[in-house]
Amino acid sequence: MIDYLVVGLGLAGISFCERLEENNKSFLVINDGSQTSSLVAGGLYNPVILKRFTLAWNADVQLETAMPFYNQLESKLGVKLDSKIPIYRKFASIEEQNLWFEAADKLRLANFLSTRIIENDNKNIDAPYGLGEVLHTGRIDTNTLVRAYESFLQEKEKLIRKTFDFNAMIVEKEHIAYNSLKARKIVFATGFGLKSNPYFNYLPLHGNKGELLTIKAPKLKENNIIKSAVFIIPLGDDLYRVGATYERTDKSNNPTDGAKNELLDKLHKFLKCDYDIVDHVAGIRPTVADRRPLVGLHPKYNNITVLNGFGSRGVLIAPTVSKQLYNHVEKGEALPKEIDVHRFLKRYSIKKS
């Protein structure tokens, strides 16, 4: 009998595995690579919503848990994950500059919005109204994290590379049986894959497809993340990630020409040098109707749990919310109501009847 079976190895699965490791719990992971969100993510951690200059949900608090979490993973896995890079928000007008200053006066934002307007000195970027710097930002290399964590688990023989088969799962009072395995509890951390989970498909997970390009632009020579209509994220070696798109209807992981053209149109509005496209990726963000994570116990079985709904901010949300789920399940600590799946109990009852 093991303590946990974890299904899914994106940011959600990895962060929960870390909580299990910290607490010396035994576990196995089943992962099939059918969802790509954590593999393709831009990986930005940025507490500010740059459209409206507001604080993202609880982002200041989440940042405090996230940074030591990823830094500790860097030492454990022996890889570089965290690049602390400022985000420069391009201003479109004087009006926007004023809105930025107004926002910087607010208590929870003051720590994140620099009150100095940066004059653009990169001739390959068009930014006549200057740029505002967001502080305490950067990028987690989520692709490297997933790959390194897979290797780490594989070495310990804790990873099963397969699609979870719901027909092979039997729910007993004290444990879950899965083929020849027995686990005290199971955690579903399957991102948009939740849609095909009969235990949790009552939850309002919508999904939002995102696509990103990688370009090589030797003349650009930009070390900061620039946010205009799209983000340009420096990766080193003259490579830059450009994105992302938001699309609600297409739920495949295939890159499309439509998204590519949309990104290039936006890029051309502020990039003034040549480049080559070297990569194009897509994934589905696990977004939720009320924009809050989906965390907690199944309404009927207290050994079946879910960790999902990180939307477009998995890097910041995962470390905090995985801890909340662990403390809820193992220590009986209450979950914040806004993330607890019990808020959708009515949907469960309707679906059942």
Ligand X SMILES: Cc1cc2nc3c(=O)[nH]c(=O)nc-3n(C[C@H](O)[C@H](O)[C@H](O)COP(=O)(O)OP(=O)(O)OC[C@H]3O[C@@H](n4cnc5c(N)ncnc54)[C@H](O)[C@@H]3O)c2cc1C
Whether the CB-CB separation of 342 and 299 falls below 8 Å is answered with: yes
Helix residue spans in 242-313 (DSSP H): 257-268
Nearest 5°: CA angle at 261, between 34 and 234?
75
Rule CB under 6 A: which residues touch ligand X?
7-13, 30-35, 37-38, 40-44, 163-164, 189-193, 210-212, 243-244, 283, 285-286, 308, 310-316
Whether the CB-CB separation of 145 and 155 falls below 8 Å is answered with: no
Pick 65 or 308: Cβ nearer ligand X: 308
Q: Residue 353 Cβ, how far from ligand X at the closest point, in Å?
A: 26
Pick 217 or 233: Cβ nearer ligand X: 233
C-alpha distances (whole Å) from 160 to each of 7, 151, 163, 192, 197 are 10, 12, 9, 20, 18
CA–CA dist 284, 41 (Å, integer): 10
Q: Residue 125 Cβ, how far from ligand X at the closest point, in Å?
A: 20
Strands (E), 78-230: 82-83, 87-90, 113-118, 131-134, 138-140, 159-160, 169-171, 176-178, 181-188, 208-216, 225-227
Q: Residue 253 Cβ, how far from ligand X at the closest point, in Å?
A: 9
Whether the CB-CB separation of 296 and 340 falls below 8 Å is answered with: yes
Pick 38 or 120: Cβ nearer ligand X: 38
Pick 189 or 217: Cβ nearer ligand X: 189
What does DSSP say about strands 82-83 and 138-140: parallel, antiparallel, or unpaired? antiparallel
Pick 93 or 166: Cβ nearer ligand X: 166
CA–CA dist 210, 192 (Å, integer): 12
Q: Residue 235 Cβ, how far from ligand X at the closest point, in Å?
A: 13
Q: Residue 35 Cβ, how far from ligand X at the closest point, in Å?
A: 3
Pick 130 or 288: Cβ nearer ligand X: 288
Pick 246 or 270: Cβ nearer ligand X: 246
Q: Residue 197 Cβ, how far from ligand X at the closest point, in Å?
A: 7
Q: Residue 241 Cβ, how far from ligand X at the closest point, in Å?
A: 9
Partners of residue 208 on adjacent β-strands = 285
Select from 152, 142, 12, 153 the least CA-distant residue to 80. Answer: 142
CA–CA dist 344, 347 (Å, integer): 5
Pick 305 or 308: Cβ nearer ligand X: 308
Q: Residue 218 Cβ, how far from ligand X at the closest point, in Å?
A: 24
